[in-house]
Amino acid sequence: MNPKHVVSKSLGEEYYYLKHPSGLGIYIHPKKDYSSNYAILGTNFGSINNKFRLKNEKSFTEVPDGIAHYLEHKIFETPEGDAFSLFAKTGASANAYTSFEKTAFLFSCTDNFEKSLNILLDFVSSPYFTPENVEKERGIICQEIKMYEDSPDWKVFINLLGAMYKSHPINKDIAGSVESISKITPELLYKCYDSFYNLHNMTLCMVGNMDPDKIFTIVNKKLNYSMPVEVERYFPDEPHDVVKNYVSQNFDIKSSMFNLGFKENILPFHRATNEELVYTDIMLSYFSSPSSEMYNKLLNEGLINTATFSGEYLEGPGYASVIFSGESKDPEKTSEIIRDYMRKIHENGLDREAFERAKKAVYGRSLSVFNNVKNIANLTLEFDFSGKELFEYMYILQDATLEKVNNRLKKELDPNYSSLSVVKPYEK
């Protein structure tokens, strides 16, 4: 086994990659002068993967919403106790999360990296589900679901996805609902684990002051060859039209918040390419720049503030949208100004001088990612699962032109396919 050594002289960065015989994809980014180390082990299984079948199965299995998140909670439990207590003995700080398309387990430490790595590989590969411990977890997750139901930041986002997407499971809350998780059983958890926690569907990313040869030796001792599990995922066809143009909810808050989403028209399993990602990132920087006509109009009229206004690109298999968000005294007027600006920008394209500033801003932010072990590992995992390469993004960014970004603009930010989600204070 000879790991692939990838070096970028222009970035001054390197990493090693190995597709291990066990099936696990392994990335190591050595950072010799760093005192902190970080590791993240992810599986390509998130909340949207609620309908699937194995290669030898005739029919699809449809699992309750929230089962990926539920499984994340249960993975930490071992016959000897909670895996968090094991990490505490090595001095590592551990955590986990579930997103729409993946589940990840991670830890950071300054010492005892090898011991902590062994713990990570052990508990993720040894599930322990019983009727008793599954039932016990149900109450904990119900409380978590209720907590998010009371979060205006989260609800304005989830409500937007429900307003934009009719069929795609992106319109469901990652944790599911109290009703949906009541249907989760140990058998269903093992079904999902056996289908998606196969090492061929997983990737391990490590960054810090570490010797790649030593790390690969540890992994070789820990992992054995495994047969790949072929899983067919199911996503329904999603129309380009949004479900609702407007949705609102009242909360006990002082100022209104908004999410304005522009829905992209893509195929069921499409993932954004590095080119699409780069050009969209430049556009988002362009629109949120202090030199942007749209940004200045909103700011001068007191409709947004610099602390909360932002734009992001949300994309995954079969879904993609640009989302502007922030606090506003008048979300409806704010959204209309943004929509009008998008109509204008579709006709005229981006300004060349402002484009160059936006491109430099994106490049500077992207370079800063390589100064943080956590950011490097998380982004490497994200790129791996979406079929992209980390350094390639930077090369494409360097070569980005106004013409290429304007061509990308034609497929995005169409006001005819947009939705506004608002959370407002209760009326006195």
Residues with catalytic annotation? 72
3-class secondary structure, 105: strand
**Cβ contact 178:145 at 8 Å:** yes
The whole-angstrom distance between residue 196's C-alpha and the CA centroid of its chain comes to: 17
Locate all alpha helices (DSSP H) within 197-314, ordered by sequence: 212-222, 274-287, 293-300
Q: Which residues are CB-contacts of 198 (< 8 A; sequence separation ≥ 6)? A: 23, 226, 228, 229
Q: Which residues pair with 246 in a beta bridge?
A: 420
- State the helix-helix crossing angle for 373-385 and 390-398, rounded to 10 degrees: 90
**Cβ contact 174:316 at 8 Å:** no
Q: Is the dihedral of CA 334, 337, 342, 343 positive or negative?
A: positive
Q: Which of 320, 253, 317, 309 is nearest to 280 (CA)?
A: 320
91 sits in the region (left: phi over 0; alpha: psi -120 to 50; else beta) called: left
Residue 276, judged by CB atoms within 10 A of its CB (0-12, 13-18, 19+), counts as: buried
Neighbours of 263 (CB within 10 A): 27
3-class secondary structure, 51: strand
**Cβ contact 185:192 at 8 Å:** no
Q: Which of 366, 374, 368, 411 is nearest to 392 (CA)?
A: 366
- State the helix-helix crossing angle for 152-164 and 131-149, rounded to 10 degrees: 90
- Give the Cα-Cα-Cα angle 341, 342, 343 (nearest 5 degrees): 90
